[in-house]
C-alpha cells in the first residue's frame, strides 16, 4: 500500500512538473539554433529596412509620375491650341492669297485693255 501511495505521489509529481514545463516552455536553446534565430531576426530587420526604402522610392516616383502626367496633359492642350491657331492662320492666308490674285488680275486686265487701245490707236 505504501508502494502504491508513493507511486501515485510520484506519478502526480511527474505530471505536475511536466505540466509546469509545458506551460512555462523551455528556455534552453542550443547555440546553433540560437545563432540561426539571430540570423533570421537580422534578415527580417534588413528586409524591413529595404522595404521602407523601396516604399519611399515608390512614393517619390509616384509623385514624379503624377507631375509628368500633368505636364503631358498641359502640353497636349497647348498643342491642340496651336494646331487650331495654325489652321486658322492657313485659312486666313489662303483667303488673302485669293484677294491678292483677284487684285492682281484686275490691273493685268486693265493693262491688257490699255495695250489693245494703244495698238488700235497706232493702227489708225
Helix (H, G, I), strand (E, B) or coil at 105: helix
- What is the CA angle 18-21-25, rounded to 5? 145
Asked if the model's pLDDT at residue 49 lies above 80, the reply is yes
- pLDDT (mean) for 6-25: 68
- pTM of the model as a whole: 0.48
User: Tell me, what's the pLDDT at 31?
Assistant: 86
Average pLDDT of the chain, as a whole number? 85
Cα–Cα distance measured from residue 20 to residue 7, given in angstroms and rounded to the nearest whole number: 20
Cα-only R_g, the chain: 51
**CA dist., res. 120 & res. 99, Å (int):** 32
Q: How confident is the model at residue 24 (pLDDT cuts 50, 70, 90)?
A: low
Residue 124, pLDDT score: 59
pLDDT per residue as tens digits for the range 55-74: 999 999 999 999 999 999 99
Amino acid at each position: 500500500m505504501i508502494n502504491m501511495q508513493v507511486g501515485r505521489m510520484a506519478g502526480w509529481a511527474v505530471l505536475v512538473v511536466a505540466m509546469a514545463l509545458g506551460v512555462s516552455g523551455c528556455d534552453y536553446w542550443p547555440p546553433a539554433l540560437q545563432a540561426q534565430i539571430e540570423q533570421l531576426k537580422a534578415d527580417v530587420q534588413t528586409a524591413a529596412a529595404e522595404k521602407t526604402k523601396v516604399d519611399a522610392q515608390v512614393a517619390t516616383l509616384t509623385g514624379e509620375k503624377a507631375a509628368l502626367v500633368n505636364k503631358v496633359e498641359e502640353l497636349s492642350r497647348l498643342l491642340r491650341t496651336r494646331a487650331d491657331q495654325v489652321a486658322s492662320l492657313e485659312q486666313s492666308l489662303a483667303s488673302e492669297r485669293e484677294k491678292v490674285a483677284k487684285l492682281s488680275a484686275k490691273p493685268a486686265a486693265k493693262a491688257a485693255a490699255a495695250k489693245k487701245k494703244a495698238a488700235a490707236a497706232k493702227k489708225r
